[in-house]
Amino acid sequence: MSDDAYDAALDLLRRVNPQNITTNLEKLIALQPSLAEDLLSTVDTPLSIIKDPETGKSFLACDYNRDLDSYRSPWSNQYVPSLEDDDSPFPSKELRELEIKMNDSMDVYRDLYYEGGVSSVYLWDQEDGEGFAGVVLFKKSTENKKAQWDSIHVFEVETIGSQKAKYKVTSTIILDLSTKEKAREIGLAGNLIRQTEKEAEVEGDYGHLINLGTLIEDIESKLRNLLSQVYFDKTRDIIGDARSLSSLKDVASDKALHSEVVKGLQGL
């Protein structure tokens, strides 16, 4: 029964307005609390921004740096709000050093490519003790939050011998655009998910940092181009087909045109 409920919840979330994904997810969890852990780890939602009171820097909150209702800051390595539980998850000392370097590097990348926004990187040890995993997050939004871009890259690093590693990356782009003109409001929202695998040589102390940075930069470039083709070009084609200068007498022609528009929307 739980598997059926889980599949039904995912199917429902795929069909409702993606702009309300966070609200709809909360309502589903309230209806079926037993699905909370599975849904939170599977369904990507727009990232939240939290300010670290110790460093004064902002960081991104997601399920990967959450413990109870607190979120670990990549800058101070402390949970916000603070927790008294000693069992809260933290990366090992070596992994924490790599996490600090990756946050500094991705912060530079964010400034160059996004010209603003917030970035965060979180790493954790694998349960089998081999390799490690992590997530790279980017968020950029306008002042009125009418346009938001969330980029989530979850990766696993599997060591192959002493000088080679395999990188498995699952990337999700969440795009939310809306504009209001007079009494009309137009919204465009959705997400794009892609998986990438690559083997590369690990050279020096910063080998993983260089390999992951290069891979994520390449993935983001490809996803941006793909989003431009899927969302903007397709929307432009639909709007162009919907526009008609024919007279109201051409009812049959209009019906055929409307049918084509519906097919175009279904193909998004």
Rounded CA-CA distance 175/148 in Å is 6
Which whole-number Å values give the CA distances from 150 to 118, 213, 235, in the listed order?
Answer: 10, 17, 21
**Among 34-48, 157-171, 204-218, where is mean pLDDT lowest?**
34-48
Task: Sheet with 118-125: list strands edge to edge.
Answer: 118-125, 132-141, 147-160, 164-181, 184-201
Residue 177, SS3 per DSSP: strand
In single-letter form, the type of residue at position 54 comes to: E
Tokens standing for 21?
């994904």
Rounded CA-CA distance 81/70 in Å is 5
Q: Is the pLDDT of residue 1 over 50?
A: no
Q: What is the pLDDT of residues 173-226, one digit of tens each?
A: 988 877 666 566 667 777 888 999 999 999 887 899 999 999 999 999 999 888
Q: What is the pLDDT of residues 97-132, one digit of tens each?
A: 999 999 999 999 999 999 999 999 999 998 776 789
DSSP alpha helices (H): ranges in the chain?
Answer: 2-15, 21-31, 36-42, 93-113, 207-227, 234-242, 251-266
Between 15 and 180, name the one with better pLDDT: 15
Between 154 and 242, name the one with better pLDDT: 154
Rounded CA-CA distance 243/254 in Å is 10
Between 16 and 8, name the one with better pLDDT: 8
**Among 11-15, 95-99, 135-139, 195-199, where is mean pLDDT lowest?**
11-15
Rounded CA-CA distance 43/187 in Å is 21
In single-letter form, the type of residue at position 205 comes to: D
Q: What is the mean pLDDT of the chain?
A: 83
Rounded CA-CA distance 78/83 in Å is 9
What domains lie within the chain, and their CATH numbers? 1-43 (1.20.58.570), 88-241 (3.90.1150.210)
pLDDT given at position 268: 45
Which whole-number Å values give the CA distances from 207 to 62, 70, 118, in the listed order?
Answer: 26, 32, 25
pLDDT given at position 119: 96
